[in-house]
Structure 1
Amino acid sequence: MAAVARQQNAPDPSRRNEQSRTAILTAAGELVAEIGFGKLTIEKIAARAGVGKQTIYRWWPSKGAVVFDSFLAANENASGSLALPDTGDLTEDLRTLLRGTVLELADPAFNRTGRALAAEVLTDPDLLREYRERLLDPLLEVTRDRLRAAREAGQLRADADLDLAVELLYGPLYYRWLHGLGSLDADYADQVAAALLSAFGTTGG
């Protein structure tokens, strides 16, 4: 009976690992916001999270990978799935999508971490692959799916190039965000949506 009691009271390793992982991701997100990506180190993340460096290296190959997972975790908590609005009204759905995007880009918490990751993926091929597979490609795919549905409904021209349409949706927003050109607000989001519909829309749509 004593052995059974000890076994029942033993800590759950999986729960302990999940607690450590959450602490690491939280620490990474907090530190990027406080000191920036350049001054961030694995040692500082470990100290803030209350874990050893080897615990971090067991799960992530670099500080960029840790920050990316922290970014994804925070983004999932804030926005949920990647599902796009589909009310049947393409104009309003595009406005909703792009207004949400500019709000996210203008968020100071997103801005600092997002810019750090944007710079890091340029020099880290492994991190770029992770970024493409886990964030960018899924986002582009659900956007193409939404535009494909609009094309099939006659709201976009039958010959509309969906890959180009997706780039025309997101490209102007990220260009302004990366280079600090002009304002990122609902009015600009609506202008981008209108430009896409002018390029690929139909009179009936």
Structure 2
Amino acid sequence: MAETRTPDSRRRSERSRRAIYEAALALVTEVGYTRTTIEGIAARAGVGKQTIYRWWPSKAAVLLEAFLDLAAQTSEGGTELPDTGDLAADLRLVLRATVDELNDPAHEGPSRALAAAGVVDAEVGAQFVEKLMEPQIEAYIRRLRSAEAVGQMRAGTNARIAVELFIGPLTHRWLLRTLPLTHEYADTLVEYALHGLAPRA
């Protein structure tokens, strides 16, 4: 008599969850956040919409979790910034990688959707900042403090404000879409932030 195995509900749930992640990210990239619906995600993932509502309260919550999962899969070596001893070179490397990610359709669509969702849904916005932005900001802060410790940055610098000098303009240009987001722009941000705009002696 053939052995009958009990279906593994945990494995089935994980397959469904991953299918939902992929469906949510694909849909929001293809049709935008407004036209993405729970029904559409469910149909594309091959699950019932009640399965989605059992795990998430809204499409914004689905997208946030899916994007966090994508970010975890694509980040290599964690969130730490390189520390080669050359602060400018390390920052250029990281900002160029950020430019590439923001220009990548697989990341750009979900990122813009979450930015929009976070404006109208305070909870989603807070979770996006806490779970994605804050770890990245803290990594920048640790790198800048390391530079300060070896005399590459002025002592007593507010590291968090310093970080904003790099990522703030980058995000602003990305959100407005009026000018291209390039490696050259990233390099210029590092130059201006580290050396200022005043004439050099």
Tell me if TM exceeds 0.5: yes
CA offsets 1:65-114 (integer angstroms, 9 cap, x no match): 11122222222222232221111111110000111111111122322221
Cα deviations by residue, 1:109-131 (Å, 9 ceiling, x for unpaired): 32222111111101111111210
What RMSD, in angstroms, separates the aligned Cα atoms of the two structures? 1.7
Deviation string 1:147-180 (CA, Å, 9 cap, x unpaired) is 1111111110002110110100100100100011
Note if 1:147 corresponds to 2:144: yes
- Alignment length (residue pairs): 196
Match of 2:80 in 1: 83
Give me the TM-score of the superposition, normalised by structure 2.
Answer: 0.91
What's the secondary structure of 1:116's corresponding residue?
A: helix
Q: 1:94 aligns with which of 73, 91, 95?
A: 91
Runs of 4+ in 1 over 4 A off after TM superposition: none
Q: Distance in 2 between matches of 1:126 and 1:63?
A: 13
1:183 partner SS:
coil
Q: 2:127 matched to 1:127?
A: no
Give the SS at the match of 1:122.
helix
**Deviation at residue 136 of structure 1 after TM alignment:** 0.9
Deviates more, 1:169-178 or 1:45-54: 45-54
Which ranges in structure 2 are unaligned for 5 or more consecutive residues?
197-201
Match of 1:202 in 2: none
The aligned amino acid for 1:28 is: A
Q: Which runs of 5+ in 1 are unaligned?
A: 200-205
Q: Which residue is equivalent to 2:182?
A: 185
Aligned mates of 2:25, 2:92 — CA distance in 1: 30
In the alignment, the residues of structure 1 paired with residue 120 and residue 169 of structure 2 have an alpha-carbon distance, to the nearest angstrom, of 23
Trace 1:49-88 onto structure 2 (pairs within 5 A).
49-80=45-76, 81-88=78-85
Structure 2 Cα separation of the partners of residues 35 and 184 of structure 1: 23
How far apart, in 1, do the equivalents of 2:101 and 2:154 lie?
Answer: 30
Would the aligned equivalents of 2:115 and 2:125 in 1 still touch at CA under 8 Å? no
Shift of 1:181: 3.0
Alpha-carbon offset, residue 197 of structure 1: 1.1
Q: Percent identity?
A: 49
Cα separation, 2, equivalents of 1:34 and 1:181: 21
Distance 1:87 1:55 in 2: 47
CA separation in 1, counterparts of 2:110 and 2:129? 17
TM-score in terms of structure 1 length? 0.90
